[in-house]
Amino acid sequence: MSYFFISHKFHRVAGAYTSYAFFEWALIVFDVMFDPLAMVEFKALDFAVLSSKPDNLRE
């Protein structure tokens, strides 16, 4: 992705910005798709933070 941006910005290669734009939009789409997929995968997972005292401090 960076290669195409540099090719467009500094070397003025024709079509480089188009390739860069496709990569950028693909990154956005994959990011948006990741969130619901993560919710489905972690739905059955329970997460709890518990506090406990060491044995020598218990009453």
Half-sphere exposure of 40 (CA within 13 A, CB side): 5
What tokens appear for 13 in the block? 């290669």
Domains of the chain: total: 1
Helices (H), ranges, 1-54? 2-9, 16-41
Q: Are 23 and 36 in contact (CB under 8 A)?
A: no
Residue 27: domain span = 2-57
Collapsed DSSP state (helix, strand, coil) of residue 46: coil
pLDDT digits (tens, 9 = 90+) for 3-56: 766 776 677 778 788 888 898 999 999 999 998 998 898 888 888 887 777 666
Residue 13 makes CB contacts below 8 A (sequence gap 6+) with 7
Whole-structure pTM over 0.85, yes or no? no
H or E segment to which residue 43 belongs: none
